[in-house]
């Protein structure tokens, strides 16, 4: 009986949202005419929400039972504006006015409290202001990356006894790798969180992943067919094996027993032109880690709050939703990494929003060991929190990252035959790799709506093993069955999947 009621409840909600109107427009500074990026948009009860994109453009799906309601547009340092949805359907553009600060109205305590004391209070009150609640969050999650591959990257065969594996074949393999490979993936999911447990229930997934990557993989596999077949045959022969080594490090090539359909950690069905499967556990962990890394005060990415000795600060006051807010700008000392600004409530010291990025010349994860290098040379994060009753939860996250990889090292690959005393080398190749490239990644997350979750409901839903991701050639707002949630950037709109 409970299951029938639950299904009926979901059906009723879906039927309401199936009847909807879409509004769109721009959020504009009334005085300057500049577009305001990442302005917060919501109903008065925060049941659904969105943000304007990096160009200040927004889109919202409005269920028919809420067409008589209003939307609230808010932006730090501006007056919050309440606009009737009917009028937005005629003209979706919204003008926000800067909040006029009356210095005489500023509380004395807010003026005299030191920045370091404010930061201390933020840390002391973080778990109370930003609790881990039992909730169902409907989340839009975008991820994209670009991997350039320079012509300067080289792989040189120094010595080989393999008949079909020589410099000519290596050059052919490098030739098919494009200058860069791009991928875009958007998903809408329901993230169920109860205590420390989490489940992910898919709603919809779309990928603009280029077929270039798959095409390159197939071309390389074709060129290395004789070698891969011989390696696979060695798995079936107890007397033969392949070994890869570099310096004192060596590894025997073996079948990965975890590489099965049941335990696949990433995706399958790549040969299907319309969709592929993404492992639900992989996506859940990715989403959970992203939220922790970008919004938890214990994350290294929030060290400008958790480690104040590394930073210089400048404090001022501004207005948000007609309330006084601390605006704290920061820049790193020698040991700090980030520069930016964060906004803190003067009432309860909750974090309302922060924007940070690597300061000039700052890098992290600098590793250069035995000819293999890696560093993160850029990172940018923006997080907007929304107030629910007396607590605050993540509403929107926008993040960018650039990883630099390099390799300058010699490798050996040997085909060997087991012997009683000393295994015999049948074939051997020595090659050097001199490569470097930068991986550019971007993520965007929007919590569309949230509701409280009981233990009974949490146990009722089962997380699927796989999520179906639809493949699309170009971005089109109509490709979403459940409606758009964030207007894509110009880069995404102009994206065209290479179909080779």
pLDDT tens figures, 283-300: 999 999 999 999 999 999
Enter the DSSP assignment of 266. S
- Locate tokens 């039927």: which residue? 15
* Region of 459 on the Ramachandran plot (φ > 0 left; ψ -120 to 50 alpha; else beta): alpha
Q: Where are the alpha helices (DSSP H) in 176-300?
A: 211-223, 225-236, 280-295
CB-count burial class (<10 Å; 0-12, 13-18, 19+) for 71: buried
Domain limits, CATH 2.60.40.1120, in the chain: 2-100
What residues form DSSP beta bridges with 442?
A: 144, 400
Instruction: Answer for the pair 198, 190: CB distance below 8 angstroms, yes or no.
Output: no
CB-count burial class (<10 Å; 0-12, 13-18, 19+) for 385: buried
d(CA 245, CA 428): 11
Instruction: Report the 10 Å Cβ neighbour count for 310.
Output: 16
d(CA 397, CA 159): 50
What pLDDT is attached to residue 4?
A: 35
pLDDT tens figures, 315-343: 998 888 878 899 999 999 999 999 999 99
- Locate tokens 């839009």: which residue? 140
Q: What is the CA radius of gyration of the chain?
A: 27
What pLDDT is attached to residue 270?
A: 52
pLDDT-derived band at 100 (thresholds 50, 70, 90) equals confident
Q: Which of 480, 464, 407, 461 is CA-nearest to residue 150?
A: 407
d(CA 401, CA 403): 7
Length of the chain counted residue by residue? 500
Choice between 111 and 415, residue whose per-residue pLDDT is larger: 415
pLDDT tens figures, 44-56: 766 577 888 888 8
Mean pLDDT of all residues in 365-387: 91
User: What is the fold of 2-100?
Assistant: Immunoglobulin-like (2.60.40)
What pLDDT is attached to residue 299?
A: 95
Q: What percent of the chain has pLDDT over 70?
A: 82
* 291 contacts: CB under 8 Å, gap ≥ 6: 394, 397, 445
What pLDDT is attached to residue 209?
A: 58
pLDDT tens figures, 456-472: 999 998 999 999 988 87
What pLDDT is attached to residue 290?
A: 96
Between the alpha carbon of residue 214 and those of residues 182, 467, 471, the distances in Å are 12, 20, 13
pLDDT tens figures, 60-97: 888 888 888 889 999 988 989 999 999 999 899 999 99
Question: Mean pLDDT of all residues in the chain?
Answer: 84
What pLDDT is attached to residue 18?
A: 44
pTM, rounded to two decimals:
0.81
pLDDT-derived band at 225 (thresholds 50, 70, 90) equals confident
Q: Which tokens sit at 430?
A: 């020595």
pLDDT tens figures, 129-170: 999 999 999 999 999 888 888 878 889 999 999 988 899 988
Establish how many alpha carbons lie within 13 A of residue 474's alpha carbon, considering only the half-sphere containing its beta carbon: 6
Mean pLDDT of all residues in 113-121: 93
């Amino acid at each position: 009986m409970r299951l029938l009621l639950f299904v009926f409840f979901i059906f009723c909600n879906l039927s309401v949202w199936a009847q909807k109107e879409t509004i769109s427009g721009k959020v504009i500074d009334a005085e300057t005419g500049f577009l305001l990026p990442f302005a917060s948009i919501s109903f008065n009860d925060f049941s659904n929400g969105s943000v304007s994109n990096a160009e200040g453009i927004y889109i919202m799906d409005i269920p028919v039972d809420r067409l008589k309601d209003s939307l609230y547009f808010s932006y730090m340092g501006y007056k919050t504006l309440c606009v009737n949805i009917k009028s937005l359907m005629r003209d979706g553009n919204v003008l926000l006015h800067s909040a006029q600060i009356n210095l005489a109205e500023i509380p004395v305590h807010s003026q005299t409290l030191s920045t370091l004391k404010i930061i201390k209070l933020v840390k002391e009150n973080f778990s109370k202001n930003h609790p881990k609640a039992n909730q169902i969050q409907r989340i839009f999650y975008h991820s994209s990356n670009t991997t350039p591959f320079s012509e300067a990257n080289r792989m040189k065969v120094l010595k080989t006894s393999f008949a079909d594996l020589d410099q000519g074949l290596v050059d052919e393999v490098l030739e098919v790798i494009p200058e860069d490979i791009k991928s875009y993936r958007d998903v809408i999911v329901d993230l169920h969180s109860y205590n420390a447990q989490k489940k992910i229930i898919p709603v919809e997934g779309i990928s603009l992943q280029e077929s270039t990557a798959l095409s390159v993989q197939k071309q390389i596999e074709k060129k290395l067919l004789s070698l891969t077949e011989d390696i696979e045959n060695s798995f079936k022969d107890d007397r033969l094996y392949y070994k890869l080594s570099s310096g004192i490090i060596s590894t025997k090539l073996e079948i990965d027993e975890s590489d099965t359909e049941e335990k696949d950690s990433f995706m399958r069905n790549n040969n299907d032109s319309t969709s592929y499967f993404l492992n639900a556990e992989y996506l859940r962990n990715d989403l959970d880690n992203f939220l922790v890394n970008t919004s938890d005060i214990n994350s290294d990415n929030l060290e400008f709050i958790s480690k104040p000795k590394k930073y210089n600060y400048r404090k001022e006051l501004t207005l948000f939703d007609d309330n006084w807010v601390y605006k704290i700008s920061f820049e790193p000392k020698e040991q700090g990494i980030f520069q930016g600004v964060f906004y803190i409530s003067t009432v309860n010291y909750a974090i309302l929003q922060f924007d940070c990025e690597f300061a000039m010349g700052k890098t992290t994860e600098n590793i250069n060991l035995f000819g293999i290098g890696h560093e993160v040379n850029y990172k940018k994060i923006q997080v907007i929190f929304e107030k629910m009753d007396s607590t605050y939860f993540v509403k929107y996250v926008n993040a960018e990252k650039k990883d630099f990889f390099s390799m300058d090292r010699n490798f050996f690959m040997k085909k060997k035959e087991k012997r009683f005393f000393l295994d015999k080398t049948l074939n051997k190749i020595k090659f050097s790799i001199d490569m470097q490239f930068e991986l550019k990644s971007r993520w965007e997350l929007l919590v569309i709506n949230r509701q409280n979750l009981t233990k009974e409901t949490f146990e009722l839903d089962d997380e699927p093993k796989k999520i179906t991701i639809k493949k699309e050639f170009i971005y089109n707002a109509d490709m979403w069955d459940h409606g758009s949630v964030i207007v894509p950037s110009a880069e995404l709109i102009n994206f065209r999947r290479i179909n080779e």
